[in-house]
Chains A and B, each alone.
Chain A
């Protein structure tokens, strides 16, 4: 191939590659923009609560002591559920939560790494010993959902799951202390 012809080729090849890269760049930017847009307008973030807590003294603490686990509605109406993920169970093993209301789920592990998801929702977080994992969400549909441990935590990992009861406003009735446990069905 002559030198001149080769140079034209080379320029054309690089030109088309650049054009392609530009086109794809636009598409990639579009996908990223959607992430940024929903972060700005709807506050969508991955759960990133960098709140440290000593896993060794969790059972002595106030918040994650056995009696204080579960769902509680504060005087100002804020719904919080505190859940312990431990080898190989959740405490409590059934959690009642309201539908269509902002809720905050707080998880902690006294032993090894766990993780949770609630089927059919976007509730998902790792539960790393040393941190309080926190998810803010609003349940869009009601019913009985499954909350398994999704990170390998030992030989009993497969049997580690809890139930989540998402209750309508009529069914979601906390007691005088603002506490609520699962309804027996």
Chain B
């Protein structure tokens, strides 16, 4: 096994072990919230579990998967050795230390503040220091991605950067912008409070800084799925990418529109006026742009494949696709979940209508569908696709892979569709134990049990996934070299700098962030709002 492969595998395994553990916690949480498991756990245990589930899924699984995948793309799409491998390993070790620090602090019950923090509640400082180390490790990765692309451009003057790498660098740039808000909140406000240097916190400011990160972070998680849609799926299906330009534009849109929109997470907050909320709602509507471009361009690419395979009629090409291929199957299921999640998102962002579902199970359903569903199922597909290259061994049978993907899809839908309904009924979030003696809450019982069933299917799928990867390490069938990245119908020969780099887009991000977030943040600096006393939960 080569060094770069080991680097990728180390990241992936850390991500997937955290994922499997978090899936178990998730299933347990659903159990204690349901009428079946009522009163079997204490709030202390429950919030410890929720914190660990959130940290493992949202920070560990996503960040380390994306880092590992980025290193993989940098080597395979650019056909050159990775720049700064020593730095990459160092960052990995720092990240592992950070993860360990964070998870141990949570397990000791000294950080039951959930992964989205809620200052003035503060956890033990080790919790935040661990997370800051994880973020620092990911910054090293961002720099390495930028360096790799720059080196490739020097070696290949005038040639278009391969789409997979362009998209990976887009994600790195996005992540650098994204983490500014959270890092500022942690370093400037929360950590000094946790360490006892300050006794009070400006809560309005901390919520605003976190909102900066809160939307874009989801696109950071989502972009690997889109990289797979654009660069791996058409090849796996036996077709070509319909438009390379649209692919590049999609990732550019992600970069510029996922940042100046975070206030839509604060629509129900009292610390901002309607005006800036509306501006960011309008910008949020344009976050749909990359997704609606994708749901046209990718089906068009699949249609090429389906018709080449003999599909006829308006929809006949769909049946002709190679659904037995995990990548194609996962993408199909991913799109269905993206559709439901997208509709939920449209409702969330709709200004006043947010009041109908804010902080209800509707929102939990939405982000489980988008991240846990649409994005993570593509993480599975990517892992299945590239594991043979990393281990040099081939899947003996695709049947358990397909089972795993179907289980995940059915589980996710069974879990989240009832949650949407319960959200409309007013089932609120972050509850350790529901009071099923109340007639309204009792009426939710059956649906909660159905969603628990979905949660158990998800757990089964998660464990099957880890098993499917683990057996490959001891597999006997050697991998045959197979091309991975799709060609475009019209491979670009020469591109404007705007579609081959990020200079212009960084300027536009800066400008729109200044306009959209400048005043909302400056108001706290110009006239600090009354602070709240730190409540130490450690």
What residues of chain B lie closer than 8 Å to A109, measured between beta carbons?
532
What residues of chain A lie closer than 8 Å to B358, measured between beta carbons?
115, 117, 124, 150
Does A141 count as interface, using CB distance less than 8 angstroms? no
The residue of chain B having its C-beta at the shortest distance from the C-beta of A7 within the complex is B490
Interface stretch, picked from A77-85, A91-99, A155-163, A177-185, is A155-163
**B285 & A128 in contact (Cβ 8 Å cutoff):** no
Smallest CB separation, A4 vs chain B (Å): 12
**B268 & A125 in contact (Cβ 8 Å cutoff):** yes
Q: Secondary structure at chain A's binding surface: helix, strand, loop or mixed?
A: mixed
How many angstroms between the C-alpha atoms of A149 and B431 in the bound complex?
A: 9
Smallest CB separation, B6 vs chain A (Å): 40
Interface stretch, picked from B8-16, B222-230, B421-429, is B421-429
How many angstroms between the C-alpha atoms of A126 and B350 in the bound complex?
A: 17
Q: Which of B270, B272, B438 has the most A CB atoms < 10 Å from its CB?
A: B270
Given contacts A44-B351, A46-B352, are A55 and B530 in contact (CB under 8 A)? yes
**A111 & B120 in contact (Cβ 8 Å cutoff):** yes
Interface stretch, picked from B289-297, B316-324, B510-518, is B289-297
**B530 & A113 in contact (Cβ 8 Å cutoff):** no
Given contacts A13-B242, A31-B285, are A157 and B431 in contact (CB under 8 A)? yes
How many angstroms between the C-alpha atoms of A56 and B534 in the bound complex?
A: 11
Does B495 count as interface, using CB distance less than 8 angstroms? no
What residues of chain A lie closer than 8 Å to B40, measured between beta carbons?
none
B contact residues, total (Cβ < 8 Å): 72
For chain A, the bracket of interface size reads: 35 or more
Interface stretch, picked from B172-180, B273-281, B384-392, is B273-281
**Which residue of A9, A14, A44, A126 contacts B352 across the interface (Cβ within 8 Å)?**
A44
What residues of chain A lie closer than 8 Å to B468, measured between beta carbons?
none
Does A140 count as interface, using CB distance less than 8 angstroms? no
Does B107 count as interface, using CB distance less than 8 angstroms? no
How many angstroms between the C-alpha atoms of A158 and B435 in the bound complex?
A: 9
Instruction: Pick the 9 closest A-B CB pairs, nearest first.
Output: A119-B426, A129-B532, A150-B428, A54-B530, A150-B359, A44-B352, A131-B270, A124-B355, A46-B267
Could you list 15 further interchain pairs (A-B, Cβ under 8 angstroms) beyond the known A52-B530, A125-B269, A155-B47? A32-B281, A35-B350, A47-B355, A49-B270, A50-B270, A113-B207, A117-B428, A124-B355, A129-B530, A131-B204, A151-B118, A151-B359, A151-B430, A158-B43, A158-B434
